[in-house]
């Protein structure tokens, strides 16, 4: 008698197989949001119970659609419920942006709507950028994020300016929108802009680039080196704040109360400070002004060979090679044998995703988000320079020793002094505010820097004046083969004088080892890792964890013992002959990674400048301001923007 076996039903399959079936239903392609599983879950009560609570399934979907290495490296190893929370959040946000982009809607929803506000959308999109290893960018591009955010900036950047004397407002929605736009900017998108649209956009950004007494270029005023301030020091600093009748208090102390975003992230509370709007504005502005190389007709007006001091044709050709991170568009065909000076410099665009060799997906094994770990750490740890925030956030990851070593190439943006003083004394934004109307121009700047570190808490140079690169007045330094000796004059209690000596060893970067960074969740964000869910103890739920703060893992990268970082350098000989000779000395502020440099000219008639700013996006761009070094740090001074990039020399 023959035996008959009925085929197994879908509901009788093992959970692991059901997870795989549901995964391929939800993720037929990498690009785009997951397909809703609701029809499948409603087809059978057993399926609903099995798949509706499958932490492994939603972890697998999240890791296929979105980048995932950053959260484990920076904070904690998420559970399945955490991934489900973030999957729902990102999917909802991207669908919302897609809907808005199709209708051209850049406004907030109705008061009683459950939709996200534009501010929340911009915050979440910026978080996606900071976590991106490649897949997040793909999903944002698929949703039309760049074009929607660009439309917002062009239409709404000046929202509320009528109550602010015509000036755009430094707030979360504006700051995050500019940062998202910068992250997603590509050369192709810049070239797609018409000259008129490009100029209009650049002029929208000019206030953030050229008005330093209204918009902050660091998380704390550059007059301070030791941060956070004690309560007494903060009160004293507030007593010294100078009120500019036309523009408000100066120096600018950013408020931790009004500049902190407190939302849930991977189902944990996460306070983040607003990113510096000036950083993104300068990068977006500078990229548009570096898009095209100088033409041969301009270069040919200069001598072929050097006769004394001044730039030659070769100097301008080298300058061209450093524009837009070495990607500037030539205006005429170039010789294939043209001399090359090395890759990079100027305003380097963000890194694009790498596709797997077979084209089946994105290779995230390099964990590109680690380049933004410093930016993330600043947003987590620099909430308030007064130290009022009761947060135990490790800020050692705000700077990686070795990042400033090397040759830096860029531009200083300068407003004519008369126009600068006129802006300072006038409350209202001028009706015409362009580069031509305010005499704004740029000048090249080159500097080759070396870093020196001390690991001994007893061997740290005391804090000094801003104008002297945060070194004490009267100090001197001698650079040797293996380090720098700093001498500081001291007046003893009996009135006699002494010299205190400090030695800092020269820091030489070592190749990064894989075990230096907890990368890709401990695995490697390649195709094989995307296919596996989490079936371990992290899926065990704890009802109390919903109210936990987001923890922070130290990001010191093997340099946790470093107490202080000094910088020394100069212009190379050929750059000095073309653009004047300078030496540089300065320090890195440990609280926020702000780099401060005194630029000292060989010719004293050129005047000393103080550079200050941050490394953005993995150290490719140094963005900040220059100002006269001898000015009172508590008073507005002649000041402007700087954008520089590191050159990879041949």
**What pLDDT, on a 0 to 100 scale, did the predictor assign at position 263?**
84
Per-residue pLDDT band for 238 (boundaries 50, 70, 90) equals confident
**What pLDDT, on a 0 to 100 scale, did the predictor assign at position 281?**
99
Does some domain include residue 471?
Answer: no
Of 290 and 21, the one with more pLDDT: 290
pLDDT mean over 378-396: 75
- CA 546 to chain CA centroid, Å, is 29
DSSP codes, 75-104: T----HHHHHHHHHHHHHHHHHHHHHHHHT
Q: List phi, psi (to 5°) of 616.
A: -115, 130
Q: Count CA atoms within 13 Å of residue 481 on its CB side.
A: 0
What's the total number of domains in the chain?
A: 1
pLDDT over threshold 70, residue 231: yes
Residue 77's Cβ-count burial label (10 Å; 0-12, 13-18, 19+) is middle
pLDDT mean over 114-136: 96
Does some domain include residue 361?
Answer: no
Does some domain include residue 535?
Answer: no
**What pLDDT, on a 0 to 100 scale, did the predictor assign at position 539?**
44
Question: Domain limits at 304?
Answer: 296-344
CB 270, CB 538: distance < 8 Å: no
Does some domain include residue 437?
Answer: no
- Residues ≥6 apart with Cβ < 8 Å to 10: 18, 21, 44, 47
Note the pLDDT tens digit of each residue in 595-645.
999 999 999 989 999 999 999 987 899 999 999 999 999 999 999 999 999
Structure tokens at 232: 């007494």
Does some domain include residue 312?
Answer: yes
pLDDT over threshold 50, residue 532: no
Does some domain include residue 321?
Answer: yes
**What pLDDT, on a 0 to 100 scale, did the predictor assign at position 192?**
97
Vertex 622 angle, CA 618 and 628, to 5°: 160
**Residue whose entry in the numeric block shows the structure tokens 């982009």:** 101
Percentage above 90 pLDDT, the chain: 69
Does some domain include residue 310?
Answer: yes
**Cα separations (Å) of 484 from 84, 471, 487, 566?**
52, 14, 10, 9
Does some domain include residue 195?
Answer: no
DSSP character for 484? E
Burial annotation 143-172 (CB, 10 A radius, 16+ → b, else e): bbbbebbbbbbeebbbbeeeeeeebbbbeb
Other residues' Cβ atoms within 10 Å of the Cβ of residue 517: 16
**What pLDDT, on a 0 to 100 scale, did the predictor assign at position 45?**
81
Q: Could you give the CA distance from residue 504 to residue 68 in angstroms, rounded to a whole number?
A: 38
DSSP codes, 556-574: -TT-TT--EEEEEEE--HH
- CA 84 to chain CA centroid, Å, is 27
**What pLDDT, on a 0 to 100 scale, did the predictor assign at position 6?**
64
**What pLDDT, on a 0 to 100 scale, did the predictor assign at position 47?**
77
Q: Could you give the CA distance from residue 88 to residue 92 in angstroms, rounded to a whole number?
A: 6
**What pLDDT, on a 0 to 100 scale, did the predictor assign at position 441?**
97
Of 241 and 285, the one with more pLDDT: 285
CB 469, CB 612: distance < 8 Å: no
Per-residue pLDDT band for 308 (boundaries 50, 70, 90) equals confident
CB 612, CB 594: distance < 8 Å: yes
**What pLDDT, on a 0 to 100 scale, did the predictor assign at position 60?**
95
Residue 543's Cβ-count burial label (10 Å; 0-12, 13-18, 19+) is exposed
pLDDT over threshold 80, residue 137: yes
CB 69, CB 519: distance < 8 Å: yes
Q: Could you give the CA distance from residue 378 to residue 393 in angstroms, rounded to a whole number?
A: 10
pLDDT mean over 558-571: 88
Q: Could you give the CA distance from residue 67 to residue 530 in angstroms, rounded to a whole number?
A: 10
pTM (two decimals)? 0.92
């Amino acid at each position: 008698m023959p035996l008959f076996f009925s085929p197994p039903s879908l509901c009788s399959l093992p959970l692991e197989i059901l997870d795989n079936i549901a995964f391929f239903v939800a993720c037929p392609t990498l690009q785009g949001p997951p397909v809703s599983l609701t029809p499948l879950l409603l087809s059978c009560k057993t399926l609903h119970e099995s798949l509706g609570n499958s932490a492994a399934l939603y972890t697998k979907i999240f890791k296929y659609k979105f980048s995932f290495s950053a959260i484990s490296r920076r904070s904690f190893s998420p559970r399945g419920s955490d991934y489900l929370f973030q999957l729902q959040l990102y999917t909802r946000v991207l669908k919302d942006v897609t809907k808005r982009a199709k209708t051209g809607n850049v406004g907030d929803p109705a008061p009683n709507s459950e939709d996200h506000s534009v501010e929340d959308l911009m915050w979440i999109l910026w978080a996606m950028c900071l976590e991106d290893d490649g897949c997040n960018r793909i999903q944002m591009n698929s949703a039309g994020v760049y074009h929607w955010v660009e439309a917002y900036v062009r239409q709404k950047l000046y929202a509320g300016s009528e109550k602010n004397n015509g000036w755009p407002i430094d707030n979360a929605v504006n700051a995050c929108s500019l940062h998202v736009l910068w992250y997603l900017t590509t050369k192709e998108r810049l070239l797609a802009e018409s000259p008129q649209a490009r100029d209009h956009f650049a002029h929208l950004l000019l206030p953030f680039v050229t008005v330093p007494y209204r918009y902050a270029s660091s998380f704390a005023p550059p007059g301070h080196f030791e941060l956070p301030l004690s309560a007494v020091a903060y009160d004293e600093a507030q007593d010294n704040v100078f009120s500019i009748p036309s523009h408000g208090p100066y120096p600018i102390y950013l408020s931790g109360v009004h500049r902190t975003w407190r939302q849930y992230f991977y189902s944990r509370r996460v306070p983040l400070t607003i990113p510096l709007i000036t950083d993104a504005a300068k990068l977006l502005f500078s990229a548009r002004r570096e898009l095209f190389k100088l033409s041969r007709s301009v270069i040919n007006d200069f001598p072929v060979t050097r006769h004394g001091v001044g730039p030659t044709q070769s100097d301008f050709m080298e300058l061209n090679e450093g524009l837009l991170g070495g990607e500037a568009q030539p205006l005429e065909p170039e010789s294939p044998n043209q001399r090359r000076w090395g890759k990079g410099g100027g305003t380097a665009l963000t890194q694009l995703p790498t596709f797997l060799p077979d084209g089946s997906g994105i290779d995230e094994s390099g964990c590109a988000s680690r380049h933004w770990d410093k930016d993330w750490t600043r947003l987590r740890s620099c909430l308030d320079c007064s130290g009022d925030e009761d947060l135990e956030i490790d800020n050692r990851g705000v700077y990686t020793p070795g990042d400033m070593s090397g040759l830096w190439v860029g531009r200083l943006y300068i407003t004519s002094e008369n126009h600068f003083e006129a802006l300072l004394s006038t409350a209202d934004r001028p009706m015409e505010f362009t580069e031509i109307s305010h005499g704004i121009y740029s000048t090249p700047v080159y500097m080759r820097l070396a870093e020196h570190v001390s690991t001994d808490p007893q061997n740290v140079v005391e804090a000094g004046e801003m104008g002297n690169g945060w070194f004490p007045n009267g100090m001197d330094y001698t650079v040797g083969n293996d380090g720098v000796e700093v001498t500081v004059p001291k007046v003893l209690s009996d009135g006699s004088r002494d010299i205190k000596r400090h030695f800092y060893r020269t820091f030489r970067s070592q190749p990064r080892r894989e075990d230096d960074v907890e990368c890709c969740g401990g695995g490697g964000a390649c195709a094989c890792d995307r296919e596996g869910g989490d079936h371990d103890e992290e899926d065990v739920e704890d009802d109390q964890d919903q109210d936990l703060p987001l923890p922070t893992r130290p990001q010191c990268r093997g340099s946790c013992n470093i107490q202080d970082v000094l910088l020394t350098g100069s212009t190379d000989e050929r750059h000095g002959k073309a653009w004047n000779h300078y030496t540089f000395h300065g320090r890195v502020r440990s609280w926020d990674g702000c780099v401060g440099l005194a630029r000292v000219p060989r010719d004293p008639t050129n005047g000393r400048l103080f550079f200050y700013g941050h490394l953005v996006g993995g150290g490719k761009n140094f963005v900040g301001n220059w100002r006269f070094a001898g000015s009172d740090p508590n008073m507005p001074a002649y000041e402007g923007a700087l954008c520089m990039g590191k050159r990879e020399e041949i």
